[in-house]
Structure 1
Amino acid sequence: MSVSEFKDEPFKDRAEYQRTLFHLYPAPEFATGEVMTAALYRAIGYRASESDVTAWGKDFKGRLESEAIPYSGKITPSTWKRIISVGLASPRQPGQQRQLLPSITPLVPEACLYSNTARQQGNPWNPGNLVLSMLECGSQGSHEKVCWDSLFRALSTGDNQDPWARFVSECFKNCVHPDDKLPGWEQKPFVPIMPGIRWAEWRISGSPSEALVRALPGVLSLKPKLTRRQWISLFEALLRISCASHVAWICKANLELWEFLVNCFEEPPSQHWDGKQLFKSSDTYWPYGERIDPLIHSITRDYITGRLGVNLVLHHVSETLGMENIDLKSPTGIKNLGQAIYDGREKLDLRMVRDVHDEALERNPRLLECTHGITSNVKYFFRYTLGQRQSVAEDELNYDQGYWVKKTGPQRNASWVVSGGPVALMAMVSSCCNTHRASRTVEDFCRFLNQFGVTTRASDLAWNGLGNSMRRLGLVIDSPDAEGGMILIDPFTA
């Protein structure tokens, strides 16, 4: 494609850009914590598309409402209907469209064959593939398959599992229609999302995906100590903050790459440049206690600005310098691209690049306003992944306790602020304590949260509400010898 073709289709990514660390794949859309967890079940253990789930869910809901389910278990169809509609039901959110699919909490794998897709029609995206890419990125090509195996075993239900989970799993198996061709629960092979990435060259540290990979063993080890519902809630809280911060990390990296390439029009890459400069620390995404909307808008604007700019530079360099096989999958390749830009600066036109870039954004003002296209999708991904789930029923307002963003009041226009729910804080405190045998202090906890993009300091705990929340939950104890004056208490250690 030429620059003129870029003007016609500015949001069509070049092949060299796709499936790199900068390519936001799969492209995020709406997703709640339960949608993300259910999608991971399907990504890891069911050979089915998201559109298959919408079809099976509509059929299941119709049979459930008419009590025409061919149930072969020890309970009646009416009892099974009540279990689904009461015992396993997720609350309906204000303004939510009419439910075409059953709303079932992802307690067991079988429940995820009928419910919790990002959209109720069409072919929704699968957030589970985002988790897969995070395992690949966080492991940097070394042990992602080990993480994949551990996740499958933890999400499975066996003879030694929680009795309620075993019962529900068996009930789902007993209500399968003879004509249904539902897939069985079996581990799918790990297939890299980003083939060709030279991880040995990147050696990136401090990313949210790396934090997830490090925290996973501790959270998975809690499963025998808790009920299935409790453990799924903890696991979901970890997924929510990790995935949101990973997407923010990629968004920021796009802007850094764009600025690096622009700078190469005027000076060559530094001799010590190794690619790590493109991936900043993740401790600036979600300042604890701050309003979330300005943060989301800033991140999404950085993403679309960087993505457009990088693709435009690739078009211009390829067309003007005749470069082929441009490599964005290794720091060496990116550095070579930067050097080629500097060497060919007499032929290249930086002013034209800036003008075309600005024009593309000006022609699509709603993108910068986050009200259309990919930026709108990313905005809603952040908002609903991190935000506390709302409910039309007052007795279900506290259903979601693994949130990372909450409303400051009951008013419809109340602000949303960064604030961890009880389950989210317990998951993080336990994970922090599991990272070291020695006692962990609140200073350690703040540094641990920073790895997941949540910014706070021990000196801020008094005013941002985090300190009070941890005291109420019994997660800290005063100690004059500890940094910050408090020691963490693992809520799951006897």
Structure 2
Amino acid sequence: MSLAEFKASPWAKSHPQYRAAALSVTPAPEYANSEVLVAGLYRTIGLEGLSEGMVPIKGRDLDRNIGIRRDKRTKPDGASLEGDSLHALLHDVLESPKLPNQSAKRFVQVTPLVGETASFSGSARLAGNPWPAGALVRRMVWLGSTNEDAAKARWASLFDALMVHDDDDVFARFLRDEISAWTGIRWGPACILPDENDVQCLPPGELEGYAFPARQFVQDLDAVVGAKPLMTRRQWTSLLEALVRVAAVAHVAWLCEVQKMIWDRVRLAIDGQTSPDDPQTLFYPRVLGYLSYGTGAVSELKDRTSKYLRSRLGMNAVLWSLEEAGAAYTGKLSSAADLGAFCRHVGAHRSKLLEVMSLVDDLADREARALLCRKGVGANLMEFARHVLYQRQAANPILRGYDQGYILRKRGAAKSSPWVCAPGPVAVLALVHCSLAGLAGPRSVHRLAQHLAAYGIAVDHRDIAQNDLGHQLRMLGLVLDSPDAESGMLLVPPFTVVRQGHAGGAQ
């Protein structure tokens, strides 16, 4: 690709160095809900050779096979259920709610309770080439881990937790064997390690003292994996799903903020300003705050996405222009030191970038609808954030309360009611557990507020006693609330005992 091709189609393909950067928004998120993220994770970590586009096809094949078996009243070798019973299992017991605009469509969509379900259910789209949602979670694991070995150990630990073992509950074991008999696909048996070009670790200490949702995510992932022996498979997957959904959107929002800060410094370099010796303060936000408890969130998400898109236009324009002028930057863009070197390179060749800002402005004017998140990459990012965070709206009214791990819910019952930040009970349970993991002694709700802040959710701990979050904590039995206690509301660990050998994980 050349500068001319970039001008003609600025969103088609990013510059190779920009795309290969550790902190690029890769893979580019599109539509997904929380179950799509978990199903994608199953495929990424344990279903080798199965592309995302094959999932809907496998679902249609299974549905067709069930219909044939129902008519003949037969079942495959190794299966316990006949066609009628399996149809009821998939469409009643394990049914995952369809959106209102999907009510007329026929496709198999089930709860990702075991890995075998991911072979035919849980793709981001029903046709075309769906994006690999599991690759986003995998990338977060590597970015949040301290080094390559720690990331691999954590990935293997997660695979082991996702695997249905002989000590898992009986329904999970039955489901594993039954679906495998009907589909001919067994999840696993070995953990799939990523290609070295698909993941990267940051340099040691790169983000020490800075907001970094991926780092918090991997710590919380260890806590959730450690709690698996204490609950049923359904309870544990719900806990994992709640964690993944809050972390995934926070990670993408953080990346958008980082990209915006990078572009701000590159613009200053074009203007002739030099970068200071400590570049970390220039490229990384100290705190992340994109949601506030009890308030709306759409405008903030849209603003961040729009700034990221403009940054992406600018960075690609600079990289392609440097290459066109014979002054291509040959280094990486994967750390603060790399980015500082890039800014110095831009400053040294600023005479060759005199037309860049006017080019970026022209592209921004031409791509105004994309920058306003009404089409293309911006619309996809907004759709991703909304559907992952929102409480799922079910076409079937019976399944209206299916999703309890949401982060945003409607303020009222009306269709026009605004969406506000108010995590559901499963999300609250997961966050309380993770906030107390590895700590000894009591902690107040201030600890929970700090944990929420690590994922970009702002809540004043002094308001928790009076707001809906405090009420929810009381209803779930997660606080000791004494008006005479000097420390206020104390958090109660939801899972107090972890079986030896299952707790912990990589550092």
Q: Does TM-score exceed 0.5, indicating one fold?
A: yes
Pair 258,443 (structure 1): closer, same or farther in 2 beyond 3 Å = same
Further displaced range: 142-151 or 15-24: 15-24
Other-structure match for 1:293: 298
Q: What are the equivalent positions in structure 2 for 1:8-407 lying under 5 Å apart?
A: 8-11=8-11, 12-47=13-48, 48-68=50-70, 70-72=75-77, 73-96=79-102, 98-142=104-148, 143-176=150-183, 185-194=189-198, 199-200=203-204, 202-204=206-208, 205-320=210-325, 322-349=327-354, 352-407=355-410
Q: Which residue of structure 1 aligns with residue 505 of structure 2?
A: none
Q: Matched residues in 2 for 1:118 and 1:368: separation?
A: 23
**Are the aligned partners of 1:71 and 1:77 in contact in 2 as well (CA < 8 Å)?**
no
Q: Normalized against structure 1, the TM-score is what?
A: 0.93
- Higher deviation after alignment, 311-320 or 266-275: 266-275
> How far off its partner does 1:445 sit?
1.0
State how far apart, in whole Å, the 1-side matches of 2:330 and 2:361 are: 27
Shift of 1:92: 1.9
Query: What CA distance in whole angstroms lies between the structure 2 residues aligned with 1:217 and 1:198?
Result: 19
How far 1:403 sits from its partner (Å)?
0.5
Indicate how the Cα distance of structure 1 residues 393 and 195 shifts in structure 2: closer, same or farther if over 3 A, else same.
Answer: closer
How far, CA to CA, are the matches of 2:314 and 2:90 in structure 1?
A: 49
Comparing 63-72 and 418-427, the one that deviates more:
63-72
User: What are the Cα deviations for residues 299-329 of structure 1, in whole angstroms up to 9, with x where unaligned?
Assistant: 2101101111111122233334623414312
> Contact 1:40–1:129 (CA<8 Å) still a contact in 2?
yes
Residue 360 (structure 1) shift? 0.9
Question: What are the superposed Cα offsets for residues 9-47 of structure 1, whole Å, 9 maximum, x if unpaired?
Answer: 222311110121332111101111111101100100001
Q: What is the deviation of 1:51?
A: 1.5
**TM-score computed with the length of structure 2 as normaliser:** 0.91
Change (3 A) 1:318 1:175: closer
Give the secondary structure class of the aligned counterpart of 1:439. coil
Deviations 1:191-223 (A, max 9, x none): 345567662473454311100111111111111
Distance change in 2, residues 1:464/1:353 (3 Å): farther
Distance 2:332 2:26 in 1: 18
Q: 1:66 offset after TM fit, Å?
A: 4.0
| Residue type at the aligned position of 1:400 | D
Within the alignment, does 1:466 sit opposite 2:469 as a pair? yes
Query: 1:448-487 alignment to 2 at 5 Å?
Result: 448-461=451-464, 464-479=467-482, 480-481=484-485, 483=487, 485-487=488-490
In the alignment, is the contact (CA less than 8 A) between 2:30 and 2:381 conserved in 1? yes
Q: CA deviation at 1:354?
A: 2.4
Instruction: Provide the secondary structure at the position in 2 that maps to 1:55.
Output: helix
2:440 is aligned with what amino acid? R
Letter in 2 for 1:405: L
> Structure 2 CA distance, aligned partners of 1:463 and 1:285?
23
Task: For 1:406 and 1:65, locate their aligned partners in 2 and report how far apart those are by CA, in whole Å.
Answer: 38
SS of the equivalent of 1:406 reads strand
Contact 2:144 2:218 in 1 (8 A): yes
RMSD: 2.2
Unaligned runs of 5+ in 1: none
Letter in 2 for 1:402: G
Instruction: Assess if the C-alpha contact under 8 Å between 1:256 and 1:278 holds in 2.
Output: yes
Task: Provide the residue aligned with 1:420 in structure 2.
Answer: 423
Q: Deviations over 1:141-177 (max 9, x none)?
A: 341101101110100001111111011111112223x
Give the Cα–Cα distance (whole angstroms) in 1 for the partners of residues 35 and 470 of structure 2: 28
Compared CA separation, residues 449 and 184, structure 1 to 2 (3 A): closer
Aligned equivalents of 1:209, 1:246: Cα separation in 2:
6
Structure 2: how far apart are the matches of 1:98 and 1:367? 30
Letter in 2 for 1:162: D
**How many residues end up aligned between the 2 structures?**
488
CA distance in 1, matches of 2:108, 2:258: 38
TM-superposed CA distance for 1:437, in Å, is 1.3
Quick check: 114-123 or 76-85, which moved more?
76-85
Q: Is the 8 A contact 1:308 1:357 kept in 2?
A: yes
The sequence identity of aligned pairs, in percent, is 32
